[in-house]
Structure 1
């Protein structure tokens, strides 16, 4: 069944503890301690920072049995899977996340925890879905082990710097997941669908976890997204269960591919969101698709979808020659000026590519170009 009381927690990060291999080799976490500004833990968080500064002690290594800090909340962030066959994680980070429309809904939130109701998402919605919300370019993902010798080659190496900078710069953080039963923190800060059978009861759509970081001084947004290498790339639209055997491990370890996979077969290059008029001589609302392959891609029964669920079926004879680009009008799909997502689905309804744009881009008269 889906997660209970899924939501987002806006807070200020204070410190963190990371569990290395010698600390916990079965279910290690990075514990991120945070405070609600003006909330019951606010003064305790200030005191903790003062004590750490005066003592010169950096609480970054785990201490068994001592994971709670009075007056602070804790986010338990997985850095290793409990799946014995595949313990690695999938990691995506976007250091320019401000272009996603979810930012519009988060910026003005006050600190605190916000339950997110199970309603159909819209351009201003804030429920996360790694497959349907087009949160990141899936091709930038990395499959990483928990803790191995070397630099920039495991989960600790890539996650710790993002957390440390957020603390040092007094950033705002947005933690998506499920609160502990005692409400003293949050967990499931990772993808929560397409699980292996052992964890399939947690599957659901639009209930994925994640960490968004906002640096108010610069206006920069960073998105940090975690999944498990064993989770499915394609899931059922109603219950989030896996509908294909393709996992993130299969997809991202390109050198091990033995068949052509769904993703990357066609790319959304740009979209004309707000044309000047609907006259016959003006450009209509449209998307431009590119085929990067060395062979023709038939697009019969393929669809373009927005975040509201509207669909544009491509013409029966639609096709893209090898290495070619073509623009398709989408009169049946309305793209919001407030920001939206655009998803390309193949004839089986599987996601091929997905992009997003923010409100400022939606009011422009020129096409919005997407970087892949």
Structure 2
């Protein structure tokens, strides 16, 4: 999903979880999550299938602990102001960076199918969404790029359509997506429960270069 006519705004969305499902229309390769924050509705679009046919790789941790609370303070985000907040990107940016922040072991990312038998992204997310819906104090924390359209939301029906997408690595791209690269501007999804546990999902595509010489070395 690319809202090319809009200015790109990266940031973090915090809000309660209302529902979640694989896009029922099949029009987009996403798992859609309905989040409410500060009196507004949002849709968080998590890639589970690549648009260019490459494999989706993920790292999922059901009890994630941030290695750098200064850069990623999940407790503070969860208890802070709900809604979308813009973050700066670039060399001195305040956003997330898979390649520089050591948020998780990159070599532990693996191919996880979107649907089917066994461990799938749908099953992983379904379980966390249902738990969050039953936990009135749970919040979703989604880092990514905002989008908005005056029409009703295509999945959940609220209006206007708004939300966050690009919930994945934004570095090491080539070809059509090379222009999307940036540092301190990666996407990720966290769901924090009242127990203090935080489920985390980090996503990238198999075609993205995560070596030191990859596309993330520069960026804006």
Q: Is the 8 A contact 1:27 1:81 kept in 2?
A: no
SS of 2:177 mapped into structure 1: helix
Q: Provide the residue aligned with 2:83 in structure 1.
A: 112
Q: Provide the residue aligned with 1:158 in structure 2.
A: 124
Q: 1:127 aligns with which of 85, 95, 106?
A: 95
Pair 8,147 (structure 1): closer, same or farther in 2 beyond 3 Å: same
Pair 93,195 (structure 1): closer, same or farther in 2 beyond 3 Å: same
In 1: Cα distance, 2:20 partner to 2:57 partner: 21
Q: Provide the residue aligned with 2:156 in structure 1.
A: none
Q: Provide the residue aligned with 1:167 in structure 2.
A: 133
| TM-score (normalizing by structure 1) | 0.48
Equivalences for residues 35-184 of structure 1 within 5 A = 35-36=36-37, 39-41=38-40, 72-84=41-53, 86=54, 88-100=55-67, 101=69, 102-103=72-73, 105-118=76-89, 120-121=91-92, 126-148=94-116, 150-152=117-119, 154-170=120-136, 171-182=138-149, 184=162
Pair 119,28 (structure 1): closer, same or farther in 2 beyond 3 Å: closer
| TM-score (normalizing by structure 2) | 0.78
Q: Is the 8 A contact 1:105 1:126 kept in 2?
A: no
Deviation at 1:132, TM superposition (A): 0.9
Deviation at 1:206, TM superposition (A): 0.9
Larger radius of gyration: 1
SS of 2:45 mapped into structure 1: strand
- Runs of at least 5 residues in structure 2 that lack an aligned partner in the other structure: 1-6, 150-160
In 2: Cα distance, 1:237 partner to 1:230 partner: 16
Q: Provide the residue aligned with 1:191 in structure 2.
A: 169
Q: 1:207 aligns with which of 179, 185, 191?
A: 185
Q: Provide the residue aligned with 2:154 in structure 1.
A: none
In 2: Cα distance, 1:99 partner to 1:189 partner: 18
Pair 105,118 (structure 1): closer, same or farther in 2 beyond 3 Å: farther
Does residue 226 of the first structure (1) align with residue 203 of the second (2)? Answer: yes
Q: Deviations over 1:157-185 (max 9, x none)?
A: 33322233222223111111111133711
Deviation at 1:97, TM superposition (A): 2.2
Pair 146,98 (structure 1): closer, same or farther in 2 beyond 3 Å: closer
Between the two proteins, the alignment pairs up a number of residues equal to 195
SS of 1:180 mapped into structure 2: strand
CA RMSD in angstroms, aligned pairs only: 2.4
Deviation at 1:82, TM superposition (A): 0.8
In 1: Cα distance, 2:20 partner to 2:63 partner: 24
